[in-house]
Amino acid sequence: MMAKRWVVAMVVAFGVAGGLVGCSQADSVSVASTIHGYLPVVVGLANDAASIAEGIDAEDGAKIRSVSAAVQSDLQELGSVSGAYAAGPSSDGWARLQAVVDQLVNDADAGLMAALEIKNPESQAKAKMALSALDAAIHVVDGYMMVARSPAEVQASAAGRTVKLQSVVPNWGAADWQRVEERFGGRGADIAMAEMRLGF
């Protein structure tokens, strides 16, 4: 079932990238339910990141712990908002769900870029390990959101991103993709490529 949902999401994601948008409220509810169902996977990666951050020296570790805390807070809110929307869809609920996902992506991307600015090579390597797979997984969630967004919503979301996807993708290594794809059951790289074609 998981693989089937992934294939459906991929087909629609590429449809969005090609301009074939025509999603209904039922699509939005399905996407919200899928995201809600995958949250334990992403939370697990966030917990992994927090654990790795504990092994980094105090100054650099504090920065990564701050990022991890922001992402974990975003994920907690996403769990609440996605569950509420799936149970009782509304225009306000959809707008809130989009805002929470955008904030989550912004926090994760900014965190990964901050990790790459750490001067100590050992600390930087640990910080990147802590945040790169998590960031990739969050972009898979973001890819699911693209499935149900209107063209105007996609454009607004892309314009509001503080870090462009093409800046973070090169920092997701093969091991990161493997961790993400093992847990999600599909190829996240394809969704990332579709999002970049949309201007992210």
Is 5 domain-assigned? no
Q: Is the model's pLDDT at 140 over the cut of 70?
A: yes
Provide the pLDDT confidence category of residue 165 given band limits of 50, 70 and 90: confident
Q: Is the model's pLDDT at 4 over the cut of 50?
A: no
Provide the pLDDT confidence category of residue 19 given band limits of 50, 70 and 90: very low
Provide the pLDDT confidence category of residue 27 given band limits of 50, 70 and 90: confident
Is 161 domain-assigned? yes
Is 81 domain-assigned? yes
> Are the CB atoms for 60 and 111 separated by under 8 Å?
no
Cβ neighbours of residue 44 closer than 8 Å, sequence gap 6 or more? 183
Q: Is the model's pLDDT at 86 over the cut of 90?
A: yes
Burial of 117 (0-12, 13-18, 19+ CB in 10 A): exposed
Q: Phi/psi class of residue 57: alpha, beta or left (left: φ > 0; alpha: ψ in -120 to 50)?
A: beta
Domain count of the fold of the chain: 1
Domain span including residue 168: 34-197
Cβ neighbours of residue 179 closer than 8 Å, sequence gap 6 or more? 45, 133
> Are the CB atoms for 86 and 28 separated by under 8 Å?
no
Is 19 domain-assigned? no
How far lies 86's CA from each of 90, 194, 196, in Å?
A: 9, 25, 27
Is 27 domain-assigned? no
Is 24 domain-assigned? no
Q: Is the model's pLDDT at 76 over the cut of 70?
A: yes
d(CA 189, CA 185): 12
Is 96 domain-assigned? yes
pTM reported for the whole predicted model:
0.84
Provide the pLDDT confidence category of residue 130 given band limits of 50, 70 and 90: confident
> Are the CB atoms for 122 and 100 separated by under 8 Å?
no
pLDDT score at 67: 83
Torsion over CA: 72, 64, 157, 171 (sign): negative
Torsion over CA: 197, 99, 127, 6 (sign): negative
Is 41 domain-assigned? yes
Q: What is the mean pLDDT of the chain?
A: 82
